[in-house]
Structure 1
Amino acid sequence: MGCNGSQRYTYSMHDALAPRSTSPAPLDPALGPVLAEFAALKRVPARASAHRSIADEGFRRAWTAILAGEPLEDVARTEVAYAAAQIALVPVDAAQLAHAGVDPDDRRTVYRNAAGRTVGTLSEPVADRLAAVVEGMTPPGTGPQFVDLLASQARAGALREGAARLVMPPEEMQSEHAWSVAVMGGLLQLRRDEPAGPAMLLGLAHHLGDAYAAVPDPEAPSPEDETARRRSVARALEQCPGELAELLAAALDHRNDLRLPAAGAFVAADLIDRVLQQRHYANLAGFSLSDAMDAREFVDPGPIREFQLEVLARFRLTF
């Protein structure tokens, strides 16, 4: 799969991985309700019957665009804007607007304004891309094998102290979680005037280690499991153009380096999405989120632990 114009994403990723002399601005807790609505898009049916949800469709579409060499920042801002437009417009969609006689230019304005309520002013290229996505003119496309594998791989279900794992329909897939983390991380970055692209890319890629690895207990992987995950990442990166593969490898190596704003936004988005998913399961299963959080250690025992605890407190997700 070619990547004409790979230089379009090179600068943003190299810049994102460069050391900073100052600390990144704090994450904005006022985004909490919006992030919860983004997470709920994992459970909204996709336009295409072959795809599970808006999130699954977005995961495929974003990877298709990135692998085609489209500008990373434009892809990221479009996906964030699409998520923002979806939560603003529901239950109205493009077909209903067209049926009501709204012309294409006015529909484009509707989409742009709907997204702008959350993400601010959109550039003309992003507004054009957003309209194309909402109108269904940008199909998700056919991605590499790892995209399909992650789209068919279920994540852990509802967990509770002293109880077996509960599978609560609809099951969450790795693709849906990854896209949710990607758009959350992108929005967190945009709100503090940072590029959205690198954080989105980390969100999309952070489960490449699971695509080809069957890990019995993802929450407590053995050394053998970690080896399998590294091999899985390598196998997935073989399907990417060379320069993109190098950038992805470097980004994944720095995913927990909190000196980098993109890494901090990714770590926060990943944590927030996992907690919100368990809250959804808890509501369905009839137990409290505190039960789920007692049963599952949401924060990493390593060097990012204090940051994650701060995120939980800042976004009022502690119980």
Structure 2
Amino acid sequence: MSPRELVVLGTASQAPTRHRNHNGYLLRWDREGLLFDPGEGTQRQMLYAGVSASDITRICVTHFHGDHCLGLPGVIQRINLDRVAHDVTAYFPASGQRFFDRLHHASVFHEEAVLHEHPLDGDSVSVPLPELTLEARRLSHPVESYGFRLVEPDSRRMLPERLRELGIAGPDVGRLQREGAVEADGRVVRLDEVSEPHKGLRVAFVMDTRRCDAVAELAEGADMFVCESTFLDAEADLARTHGHMTAAEAAATARDAGVRLLVLTHFSQRYNDPQAFLAEAREHFDGEIAVAADLDRIPVPKRLRSARGETGKS
């Protein structure tokens, strides 16, 4: 099973710099590899990061500004060149279908792989995946843009010491999980007596947008919140005019939503010091903050485990 981690391929906004490639993020999640917003140069960044075309199972495009999609032709052609054996599904705003078509067929190549298209339409979309749900919300940007969230279902963790105390072992454990109750030593034992809630993980991905209700909905309870912070607060008016967020706004959203790990990215070329984003965000959010840099690998936080009245990291 692959590690659950965010592989950062690029962190620039409109214009790349000497140290920041255009956007690109691969979220490794067990058997899934979700490539978000492959900007120009993503295919080469994948080589530097040790990411292969066969790692990609899904492509999520938030919108069709160039820094979020101009790497699509190279990525799609590499998937075909490498003859990736599994199907790949692309999610993107339905209003940008013509752009996706042009990028898909930007030049001549031999199509070997299977690429499914899943255009997104409406304010809210939910797509069931194997063992996960992919949610999308329409954001506030000059062109139609969507944010994404991966949601792992909640489950229950069995407590071995309670099972032993109540004399439940072997096949009865599986039956208890399936049916919710079993009889042991003349009494009915219910699942909630020998298990604890195990909350599923949530990872939110929000690129170009003003702060809006949809951003808060995506961030709510997120274990990892990857958020654009194109500007610092001194340029807040400029951010709103162009449909972006500041580091302060991203951090305030994370605070209000109960986020565990905030990942700041998508930085304007006007800024050279990434620590300025960290300093501004820290004024509003006291949780964990990562200021993304190209080729970073950021682990997804592990599930929180409730130990019968206590909460700690698993």
TM range (shorter): under 0.3
- Report the TM-score, using the length of structure 1 for normalisation: 0.27
Q: Which has the higher helix share?
A: 1
Answer 1 or 2: higher relative contact order, Cα 8 Å, separation at least 6.
1
- Report the TM-score, using the length of structure 2 for normalisation: 0.27
Q: Of the two, which has the highest radius of gyration? A: 2
Q: Which has the higher strand share?
A: 2
